[in-house]
Amino acid sequence: MHYARHVTRPRSWYRLFSHLADAPRRRRIADQLVQQKAQRSGQHYNTAPRVAAIVQFFNKKANISMLWRGLKAAEFDEIIVMDDGSVDGASAEWQSLLTAPNHFLFRSNDLFEIITYDRAIRHSPAEIVCLLQDDDKLPADGKWVKRALELFDTYPDLMILGGFHAVEVLPRSEGDIAEKMEWEIEGDIEFVRNLFVHRTSRFPRKDPSPGLPDFYYAMSAVRAPVFIRRQAYLDIGGFDLSFAPFLCDDMDNGIRAWQAGYKVGVYDVDFQRDIGLGGMRAFNNKRMEVQVRKNWEKLYRKHFDIIKSGELTAMVEQANAELRATKNAK
- Per-residue pLDDT, 228: 98
pLDDT tens-place string over residues 165-193: 999 999 998 877 877 888 888 888 999 98
CATH number at residue 209: 3.90.550.10
* Residue 35 located in a structural domain: no
Residue 102 to residues 26, 44, 52, Cα–Cα distance (Å): 26, 8, 9
* Residue 154 located in a structural domain: yes
pLDDT tens-place string over residues 31-48: 665 666 666 666 789 999
Domain residues for the domain of 61 are 51-169+198-329
Query: Three-state SS for 38?
Result: helix
* Residue 275 located in a structural domain: yes
Q: Is the pLDDT of residue 11 over 80?
A: no
- Per-residue pLDDT, 25: 76
pLDDT tens-place string over residues 21-31: 767 776 776 66
- For the chain, the domain total comes to 1
Higher pLDDT, 176 or 52: 52
- Per-residue pLDDT, 134: 93
CA end-to-end span of the chain: 90
Cis peptide bond N-terminal to 166, omega within 30: no
* Residue 44 located in a structural domain: no
Mean pLDDT of 194-200: 93
- Per-residue pLDDT, 211: 56
* Residue 23 located in a structural domain: no
Report whether 308 contacts 171 (CB < 8 A). yes
* Residue 155 located in a structural domain: yes
Question: DSSP code of 172?
Answer: P
pLDDT tens-place string over residues 250-304: 999 999 999 999 999 999 998 888 876 555 555 566 678 889 999 999 999 999 9
Tell me what percent of the residues of the chain surpass a pLDDT of 90: 67
For residue 120, which amino acid is it?
A
* Residue 27 located in a structural domain: no
Helical segments of the chain, H only: 2-7, 10-21, 23-39, 64-74, 90-97, 113-123, 143-154, 230-235, 249-259, 279-283, 288-302, 304-308, 311-329
* Side-chain-side CA neighbours of residue 330 (13 Å): 6
Report whether 115 contacts 243 (CB < 8 A). no
pLDDT tens-place string over residues 201-251: 987 655 545 556 789 999 999 999 999 999 999 999 999 999 999 999 999
